[in-house]
Structure 1
Amino acid sequence: MVKIRKAMMEDVKKLHSIITQSTKDAMVLPRPLNSIYSHLRDFFVAESDEGEILGCCALAISWHCLAEVRSLVVVPEARGSNLGAKMVEACVQEARELGVCDIFVLTNIEKFFAKLGFEETDKNVLPQKIWADCINCPLFPDCDEIPMTMNLK
Protein backbone atom coordinates (compact mmCIF):
# COMPACT_ATOMS: atom_id res chain seq x y z
CA MET A 1 0.00 0.00 0.00
CA VAL A 2 1.27 3.45 -0.86
CA LYS A 3 0.78 6.48 1.35
CA ILE A 4 0.85 10.13 0.36
CA ARG A 5 2.63 12.31 2.92
CA LYS A 6 4.46 15.60 3.22
CA ALA A 7 8.11 15.43 2.22
CA MET A 8 10.82 15.41 4.87
CA MET A 9 14.51 16.34 4.89
CA GLU A 10 15.55 12.72 4.36
CA ASP A 11 13.59 12.70 1.05
CA VAL A 12 15.38 15.60 -0.66
CA LYS A 13 18.10 13.69 -2.50
CA LYS A 14 15.61 11.11 -3.79
CA LEU A 15 13.24 13.89 -4.90
CA HIS A 16 16.11 15.57 -6.72
CA SER A 17 17.01 12.26 -8.38
CA ILE A 18 13.52 11.42 -9.64
CA ILE A 19 12.87 14.99 -10.81
CA THR A 20 16.21 15.01 -12.65
CA GLN A 21 15.36 11.68 -14.31
CA SER A 22 11.97 13.04 -15.40
CA THR A 23 13.63 16.18 -16.76
CA LYS A 24 15.47 13.99 -19.28
CA ASP A 25 12.09 12.94 -20.68
CA ALA A 26 10.97 16.62 -20.79
CA MET A 27 8.22 15.82 -18.29
CA VAL A 28 9.10 18.52 -15.73
CA LEU A 29 11.45 21.45 -15.34
CA PRO A 30 14.71 20.77 -13.55
CA ARG A 31 14.87 21.68 -9.86
CA PRO A 32 18.28 22.35 -8.35
CA LEU A 33 18.96 20.64 -5.05
CA ASN A 34 18.96 23.97 -3.20
CA SER A 35 15.51 24.76 -4.64
CA ILE A 36 14.11 21.48 -3.35
CA TYR A 37 15.56 22.18 0.09
CA SER A 38 14.14 25.71 0.17
CA HIS A 39 10.72 24.57 -1.07
CA LEU A 40 10.58 21.26 0.79
CA ARG A 41 7.33 22.20 2.54
CA ASP A 42 5.66 22.48 -0.88
CA PHE A 43 6.21 18.78 -1.65
CA PHE A 44 4.14 15.68 -1.14
CA VAL A 45 5.62 12.24 -1.74
CA ALA A 46 4.16 8.84 -2.54
CA GLU A 47 5.90 6.28 -0.34
CA SER A 48 5.68 2.48 -0.54
CA ASP A 49 5.34 0.24 2.51
CA GLU A 50 9.06 -0.44 2.15
CA GLY A 51 9.83 3.28 2.45
CA GLU A 52 10.66 3.80 -1.22
CA ILE A 53 9.73 7.17 -2.75
CA LEU A 54 7.64 6.43 -5.85
CA GLY A 55 6.72 9.98 -6.78
CA CYS A 56 6.38 13.60 -5.80
CA CYS A 57 4.25 16.65 -6.43
CA ALA A 58 4.43 20.20 -5.11
CA LEU A 59 1.97 22.98 -4.38
CA ALA A 60 3.71 26.33 -4.87
CA ILE A 61 1.97 29.53 -3.79
CA SER A 62 2.31 32.03 -6.65
CA TRP A 63 0.31 35.06 -5.65
CA HIS A 64 -2.72 36.12 -3.64
CA CYS A 65 -5.24 33.26 -3.87
CA LEU A 66 -3.22 31.51 -6.60
CA ALA A 67 -1.04 28.39 -6.43
CA GLU A 68 0.62 26.05 -8.90
CA VAL A 69 0.75 22.27 -8.92
CA ARG A 70 4.26 21.51 -10.13
CA SER A 71 6.99 18.88 -10.26
CA LEU A 72 4.55 15.97 -10.58
CA VAL A 73 6.65 12.86 -11.09
CA VAL A 74 5.89 9.17 -10.71
CA VAL A 75 8.78 6.75 -11.19
CA PRO A 76 8.34 4.63 -14.35
CA GLU A 77 7.72 1.35 -12.51
CA ALA A 78 4.81 2.90 -10.53
CA ARG A 79 3.05 4.71 -13.37
CA GLY A 80 -0.55 3.75 -14.03
CA SER A 81 -1.22 3.10 -10.33
CA ASN A 82 -3.15 6.34 -9.68
CA LEU A 83 -0.31 7.82 -7.59
CA GLY A 84 -0.17 10.99 -9.69
CA ALA A 85 -3.87 11.66 -9.13
CA LYS A 86 -3.55 11.01 -5.39
CA MET A 87 -0.66 13.45 -5.06
CA VAL A 88 -2.48 16.14 -7.07
CA GLU A 89 -5.54 15.60 -4.87
CA ALA A 90 -3.34 16.10 -1.79
CA CYS A 91 -2.14 19.41 -3.27
CA VAL A 92 -5.73 20.48 -4.04
CA GLN A 93 -6.80 19.65 -0.48
CA GLU A 94 -3.91 21.62 0.99
CA ALA A 95 -4.72 24.55 -1.31
CA ARG A 96 -8.29 24.54 0.01
CA GLU A 97 -7.04 24.46 3.61
CA LEU A 98 -4.80 27.46 2.88
CA GLY A 99 -7.67 29.45 1.37
CA VAL A 100 -6.30 29.40 -2.18
CA CYS A 101 -8.94 30.46 -4.72
CA ASP A 102 -7.43 29.01 -7.91
CA ILE A 103 -4.74 26.52 -8.76
CA PHE A 104 -3.05 26.08 -12.10
CA VAL A 105 -0.74 23.69 -13.86
CA LEU A 106 1.38 23.93 -16.99
CA THR A 107 1.29 20.51 -18.60
CA ASN A 108 1.61 18.40 -21.69
CA ILE A 109 -0.70 15.73 -20.23
CA GLU A 110 -3.91 17.76 -20.29
CA LYS A 111 -6.22 14.70 -20.34
CA PHE A 112 -4.85 13.61 -16.96
CA PHE A 113 -5.50 17.00 -15.36
CA ALA A 114 -8.89 17.38 -17.07
CA LYS A 115 -10.01 14.15 -15.35
CA LEU A 116 -9.07 15.78 -12.04
CA GLY A 117 -11.19 18.88 -12.72
CA PHE A 118 -8.72 21.26 -14.35
CA GLU A 119 -9.83 23.26 -17.40
CA GLU A 120 -7.69 24.59 -20.20
CA THR A 121 -7.13 28.34 -20.13
CA ASP A 122 -5.19 30.99 -22.00
CA LYS A 123 -1.62 31.67 -20.85
CA ASN A 124 -2.37 35.38 -20.86
CA VAL A 125 -4.82 35.10 -17.96
CA LEU A 126 -2.04 33.96 -15.63
CA PRO A 127 0.08 36.68 -14.01
CA GLN A 128 3.48 37.41 -15.52
CA LYS A 129 5.10 36.38 -12.23
CA ILE A 130 4.17 32.77 -13.01
CA TRP A 131 6.40 32.69 -16.07
CA ALA A 132 9.59 33.34 -14.11
CA ASP A 133 10.43 29.62 -14.21
CA CYS A 134 9.77 29.42 -17.94
CA ILE A 135 12.88 31.43 -18.75
CA ASN A 136 14.93 28.44 -17.56
CA CYS A 137 13.10 25.97 -19.78
CA PRO A 138 14.89 24.71 -22.90
CA LEU A 139 11.66 25.23 -24.86
CA PHE A 140 11.37 28.92 -23.98
CA PRO A 141 9.82 30.90 -25.66
CA ASP A 142 8.18 28.17 -27.76
CA CYS A 143 6.45 26.45 -24.86
CA ASP A 144 4.36 23.43 -25.73
CA GLU A 145 2.70 23.15 -22.33
CA ILE A 146 -1.00 23.78 -21.86
CA PRO A 147 -2.07 26.06 -18.99
CA MET A 148 -4.97 24.63 -16.99
CA THR A 149 -6.77 25.98 -13.94
CA MET A 150 -9.15 24.81 -11.25
CA ASN A 151 -11.34 27.15 -9.24
CA LEU A 152 -11.56 26.09 -5.59
CA LYS A 153 -14.30 28.49 -4.42
Structure 2
Amino acid sequence: MVTTVTCRKAAESDVDSLYELIQGYAEKGIMLPRSKEALTRHIDSFVVAEEGGRFVGCGSLFRLGNDLVEIRSLGITDGYKGKGIGGLIVKALEEEAREMGIPRVMALTYAVNFFLRCGYEVVQKEIFPEKVWTDCVNCKKRNNCDEIAVLKRLDA
Protein backbone atom coordinates (compact mmCIF):
# COMPACT_ATOMS: atom_id res chain seq x y z
CA MET A 1 0.00 0.00 0.00
CA VAL A 2 1.24 3.46 -0.89
CA THR A 3 1.31 5.89 2.03
CA THR A 4 3.25 8.80 0.58
CA VAL A 5 0.92 9.46 -2.35
CA THR A 6 -1.68 12.20 -2.07
CA CYS A 7 -4.58 13.07 -4.36
CA ARG A 8 -5.72 16.61 -5.00
CA LYS A 9 -7.85 18.55 -7.46
CA ALA A 10 -5.90 19.37 -10.61
CA ALA A 11 -4.79 22.92 -11.37
CA GLU A 12 -3.97 24.62 -14.66
CA SER A 13 -0.28 24.11 -13.86
CA ASP A 14 -0.93 20.35 -14.26
CA VAL A 15 -2.09 20.55 -17.89
CA ASP A 16 1.29 19.67 -19.44
CA SER A 17 1.71 16.63 -17.15
CA LEU A 18 -1.87 15.51 -17.79
CA TYR A 19 -1.41 15.90 -21.53
CA GLU A 20 1.85 13.96 -21.59
CA LEU A 21 0.45 11.04 -19.57
CA ILE A 22 -2.85 10.83 -21.46
CA GLN A 23 -1.11 11.16 -24.83
CA GLY A 24 1.17 8.23 -23.96
CA TYR A 25 -1.85 6.04 -23.27
CA ALA A 26 -3.67 7.36 -26.37
CA GLU A 27 -0.71 6.44 -28.60
CA LYS A 28 -1.07 2.84 -27.35
CA GLY A 29 -4.79 2.93 -28.24
CA ILE A 30 -5.98 2.45 -24.67
CA MET A 31 -7.23 5.94 -23.88
CA LEU A 32 -8.90 8.70 -25.84
CA PRO A 33 -6.56 11.63 -26.54
CA ARG A 34 -7.31 14.99 -24.95
CA SER A 35 -6.00 18.29 -26.30
CA LYS A 36 -4.32 20.76 -23.96
CA GLU A 37 -7.23 23.11 -24.64
CA ALA A 38 -9.77 20.45 -23.59
CA LEU A 39 -7.73 19.63 -20.49
CA THR A 40 -7.61 23.30 -19.53
CA ARG A 41 -11.36 23.66 -20.13
CA HIS A 42 -12.16 20.60 -17.97
CA ILE A 43 -9.36 20.91 -15.40
CA ASP A 44 -11.89 21.00 -12.55
CA SER A 45 -12.95 17.42 -13.38
CA PHE A 46 -9.44 16.01 -12.81
CA VAL A 47 -7.76 14.59 -9.76
CA VAL A 48 -3.97 14.37 -9.67
CA ALA A 49 -1.88 11.93 -7.63
CA GLU A 50 1.47 13.13 -6.35
CA GLU A 51 4.34 11.51 -4.52
CA GLY A 52 6.69 13.97 -2.89
CA GLY A 53 5.27 16.76 -5.07
CA ARG A 54 5.89 14.75 -8.28
CA PHE A 55 2.98 14.02 -10.64
CA VAL A 56 2.40 10.25 -10.71
CA GLY A 57 -1.14 9.80 -12.03
CA CYS A 58 -4.54 11.24 -12.81
CA GLY A 59 -8.18 10.54 -13.43
CA SER A 60 -11.29 12.54 -14.16
CA LEU A 61 -14.99 12.39 -13.52
CA PHE A 62 -17.44 13.20 -16.30
CA ARG A 63 -21.13 13.66 -15.59
CA LEU A 64 -23.32 11.65 -17.95
CA GLY A 65 -26.67 12.31 -16.27
CA ASN A 66 -28.42 13.06 -13.01
CA ASP A 67 -27.43 9.72 -11.48
CA LEU A 68 -24.37 8.65 -13.49
CA VAL A 69 -20.74 9.73 -13.80
CA GLU A 70 -17.88 8.17 -15.72
CA ILE A 71 -14.30 7.71 -14.60
CA ARG A 72 -12.11 8.57 -17.55
CA SER A 73 -8.49 9.41 -18.32
CA LEU A 74 -7.31 7.21 -15.43
CA GLY A 75 -3.57 6.71 -15.81
CA ILE A 76 -0.42 6.14 -13.80
CA THR A 77 3.09 7.29 -14.70
CA ASP A 78 5.51 4.53 -15.72
CA GLY A 79 7.46 3.30 -12.73
CA TYR A 80 4.53 3.91 -10.37
CA LYS A 81 2.10 1.25 -11.59
CA GLY A 82 1.14 -1.55 -9.21
CA LYS A 83 1.62 0.58 -6.09
CA GLY A 84 -2.03 1.29 -5.27
CA ILE A 85 -2.09 4.75 -6.83
CA GLY A 86 -4.93 3.94 -9.24
CA GLY A 87 -7.07 2.77 -6.34
CA LEU A 88 -6.40 6.03 -4.48
CA ILE A 89 -7.44 8.05 -7.51
CA VAL A 90 -10.63 5.98 -7.95
CA LYS A 91 -11.51 6.47 -4.27
CA ALA A 92 -11.00 10.23 -4.61
CA LEU A 93 -13.24 10.31 -7.70
CA GLU A 94 -15.89 8.20 -5.98
CA GLU A 95 -15.87 10.59 -3.02
CA GLU A 96 -16.39 13.47 -5.43
CA ALA A 97 -19.36 11.61 -6.97
CA ARG A 98 -20.83 11.12 -3.49
CA GLU A 99 -20.44 14.84 -2.78
CA MET A 100 -22.31 15.54 -6.03
CA GLY A 101 -25.08 13.16 -4.93
CA ILE A 102 -24.52 10.81 -7.87
CA PRO A 103 -25.11 7.14 -7.00
CA ARG A 104 -23.63 5.36 -10.04
CA VAL A 105 -20.04 5.42 -11.32
CA MET A 106 -19.08 3.68 -14.58
CA ALA A 107 -16.02 3.25 -16.73
CA LEU A 108 -15.13 1.71 -20.06
CA THR A 109 -11.85 -0.08 -19.56
CA TYR A 110 -9.33 -2.70 -20.58
CA ALA A 111 -8.24 -2.99 -16.91
CA VAL A 112 -11.26 -5.02 -15.79
CA ASN A 113 -9.49 -6.80 -12.92
CA PHE A 114 -8.38 -3.47 -11.47
CA PHE A 115 -11.96 -2.21 -11.37
CA LEU A 116 -13.23 -5.53 -9.96
CA ARG A 117 -10.75 -5.10 -7.09
CA CYS A 118 -12.21 -1.60 -6.55
CA GLY A 119 -15.70 -3.07 -6.12
CA TYR A 120 -17.06 -2.60 -9.65
CA GLU A 121 -19.03 -5.19 -11.61
CA VAL A 122 -18.95 -5.93 -15.32
CA VAL A 123 -22.13 -4.79 -17.10
CA GLN A 124 -23.35 -4.44 -20.68
CA LYS A 125 -22.25 -1.10 -22.12
CA GLU A 126 -25.62 -0.76 -23.85
CA ILE A 127 -27.18 0.15 -20.46
CA PHE A 128 -25.39 3.51 -20.75
CA PRO A 129 -27.10 5.37 -23.62
CA GLU A 130 -25.75 8.57 -22.02
CA LYS A 131 -22.20 7.41 -22.78
CA VAL A 132 -23.02 6.10 -26.23
CA TRP A 133 -24.53 9.39 -27.38
CA THR A 134 -21.94 11.58 -25.65
CA ASP A 135 -18.66 9.97 -26.72
CA CYS A 136 -19.07 6.68 -28.53
CA VAL A 137 -20.71 8.26 -31.58
CA ASN A 138 -17.43 10.11 -32.22
CA CYS A 139 -15.05 7.24 -31.44
CA LYS A 140 -13.23 5.43 -34.25
CA LYS A 141 -13.92 2.12 -32.43
CA ARG A 142 -17.69 2.77 -32.14
CA ASN A 143 -18.67 -0.14 -34.39
CA ASN A 144 -16.09 -2.52 -32.93
CA CYS A 145 -15.61 -1.42 -29.32
CA ASP A 146 -13.50 -3.83 -27.30
CA GLU A 147 -13.64 -2.01 -23.99
CA ILE A 148 -15.51 -3.54 -21.06
CA ALA A 149 -18.13 -1.57 -19.12
CA VAL A 150 -17.94 -1.61 -15.33
CA LEU A 151 -20.31 -0.09 -12.79
CA LYS A 152 -20.35 0.63 -9.08
CA ARG A 153 -23.35 1.77 -7.10
CA LEU A 154 -22.25 4.14 -4.34
CA ASP A 155 -25.63 3.93 -2.60
CA ALA A 156 -25.63 0.14 -2.25
TM-score by length of 2: 0.92
Amino acid at match of 2:43: L
Amino acid at match of 2:37: N
Q: Displacement, 1:65? A: 1.2
Q: Is the 8 A contact 1:135 1:141 kept in 2?
A: no
Instruction: Identify which of 12, 26, 35 aligns with 1:32.
Output: 35
Q: Which one of 27, 42, 47 corresponds to residue 44 of structure 1? A: 47
Report the residue type matching 1:69 in the other structure.
I
Provide the residue aligned with 1:3 in structure 2.
6
Task: Look up the SS of the partner of 1:78 in the other structure.
Answer: coil
Tell me the distance in 1 between the aligned counterparts of 2:64 and 2:139: 18
RMSD over aligned Cα atoms = 1.2
Counterparts of 1:122 and 1:78, CA distance in 2: 31
SS in 2 for 1:76: coil
Equivalent position of 1:130 in the other structure:
131
Q: Which runs of 5+ in 2 are unaligned?
A: none
For residue 85 of structure 1, the aligned residue among 84, 87, 110 is 87
Equivalent residue, structure 2, for 1:17: 20
Extract unaligned runs of 5+ from structure 1.
Answer: none
Aligned to 1:102: 104
Pairwise CA distance, 1:135: 3.6
What is the CA–CA distance in structure 2 between the aligned matches of 1:94 and 1:41, rounded to whole Å?
11
Q: How does 1:103-118 map to 2 (within 5 A)?
A: 103-118=105-120
Whole-angstrom CA distance in 2 between matches of 1:136 and 1:56: 23
Alignment partners' CA distance in 2, 1:57 and 1:34: 17
Partner-residue secondary structure (3-state), 1:27 = coil
Give 1:150's aligned residue.
152
Task: Give a deviation string over 1:11-54, Cα, whole Å, max 9, x none.
Answer: 011101110011112221111111111111110011121x2211
Count of residue pairs the alignment pairs up = 151
CA distance in structure 1 between the aligned counterparts of 2:152 and 2:57, rounded to whole angstroms: 22
Check conservation: 1:57, 1:72, Cα contact below 8 A: yes
Q: Distance in 2 between matches of 1:74 and 1:135?
A: 27
What is the CA deviation profile of residues 85-110 of structure 1, one whole-angstrom value per residue up to 9, with x for unaligned ones? 10011001111111001110000111
Question: What TM-score comes out, normalization by structure 1 length?
Answer: 0.93
Distance 1:78 1:138 in 2: 30
